[in-house]
Amino acid sequence: MAQTVSPVVNSTDRERLASVVEDRNRPQKHVQRARIILLSAERLTVLEVAARSGASRPSVWRWQQRFAEQGVDGLLRDKTRKPGRAPLPPATIAKILALPCGRPPKAATHWTGRMVAEAVGASLSAVQRIWQAHRLQPHRIRTFKKSTDPAFAAKVEDIVGLYMNPPAHAVVVSIDEKSQIQALDRTQPGLPIKPGRCGTMTHDYKRHGTTTLFAALNVLDGSVVGRCMPRHTHREFIKFLGAVERAVPAGKIIHAIADNYATHKHPKVRAWLADHQRWVFHFTPTSASWINAVENFFSVITRRRIRRGVFTSVADLQDAIRSYIREHNRSPKPFIWTKPADVVLAKISRLPVASD
């Protein structure tokens, strides 16, 4: 190939090429092609044109030839190419979408991308692309638990009403216990995180015992009263209620939301409540712990402090939990429930009904 090519550029083409180069909204590939022709018109060598335009020498030759054959319009239009592989017929696409919704073959529990690709004679990437376009995810599954409590609607309306419209001159607390929190120590020290590598932690561990965290979340201001105890019987629960009793200012009614764990309904707990008239218990529906606000706090403390923690003793674990609660209470945020009871009930009603 010649090392110096000087295409003939008339005044009209030069103005069009200059406007392409100066247009900030033009695709970069168009700007580069126009610059190649303008530089070539100055009788520069191909090597110098390539250096100034940021293109390779074969690219310079290609666009010089395209300009000579088709003018400026040829620079702004890419040649159409035939697809490397014919698109899948509609019947095959329909089968790719229908198979995962049917019974899987052999002893499998669900269809995989490779199984569908083999069944329809398509590539795995084509199957994945079609599934993604139609938001089909056979590898995922969601679990659910529908409450069979006959008073489900009434309890939901009661608790959601406390969240969204708390009574005046009262405190609303969500109470529960997180039991069997293990004090786990790793057999070897891990490595810290750094760019390009995640932190490491041995998969095996040493057990040093367990503790139970009793917690009461104040829905109005987001503060937490927490106590770590060795067990979670009615005795420990009564002690914890006493701690909450001392933390709440005198003269305020305490509306407590709790689940249906037997400890919360023990006769001695009922007797304690009878002696403390300002307490009003609201029990969640059975199999509906998601409506208990303190479960959110348990989830956060598990992810941020317990799961990755290394504890050499139960006392070490309890100190870490107490430290986290103190840090949380320095800047608490109110618990905000956004869904009215009728919206919650309407969504629950769409779940399948269990057959006898």
Residue type, 199: G
Q: Is the pLDDT of residue 82 over 80?
A: no
Task: Please give the pLDDT value at position 3.
Answer: 61
**Do 349 and 152 touch, CB atoms closer than 8 A?**
no
Give CA–CA dist 244/238, Å, rounded.
Answer: 10
Alpha helix ranges (H) inside the chain: 11-22, 28-40, 46-53, 57-75, 90-98, 113-120, 124-133, 152-164, 234-247, 267-275, 294-301, 314-330, 341-348
Q: Is the pLDDT of residue 84 over 80?
A: no
Per-residue pLDDT tens over the stretch 179-196: 999 999 999 888 888 898
Structure tokens at 212: 């139970």
Written as one string, the DSSP assignment of 211-236 is: EEEEEEEETTT--EEEEEES--SHHH
Overall residue count recorded for the chain in this entry: 356
**Do 61 and 51 touch, CB atoms closer than 8 A?**
no
| Residue 74 per-residue DSSP state | H
What is the rounded average pLDDT of the residues 122-130? 94
Pairing of strands 205-218, 279-283: unpaired
Give CA–CA dist 145/100, Å, rounded.
Answer: 24
Measure CA 279 to chain center. Answer: 38
Give CA–CA dist 30/161, Å, rounded.
Answer: 62
Residues 6+ apart with CB under 8 A from 248: 171, 173, 254
**Do 310 and 184 touch, CB atoms closer than 8 A?**
yes
- pLDDT band at residue 356 using 50, 70 and 90 as cut-offs: very low
Mean pLDDT, the chain, integer: 90
Full-prediction pTM beyond 0.75?
no
More confident residue, 345 or 79: 345
Long-range Cβ contact pairs of 88-91 (< 8 A, separation 24 or more): 88/122, 88/126, 88/130
Give CA–CA dist 350/353, Å, rounded.
Answer: 9
| Residue 356 per-residue DSSP state | -
226: number of Cβ within 10 Å: 22
More confident residue, 71 or 81: 71
**Do 321 and 301 touch, CB atoms closer than 8 A?**
yes
More confident residue, 246 or 354: 246
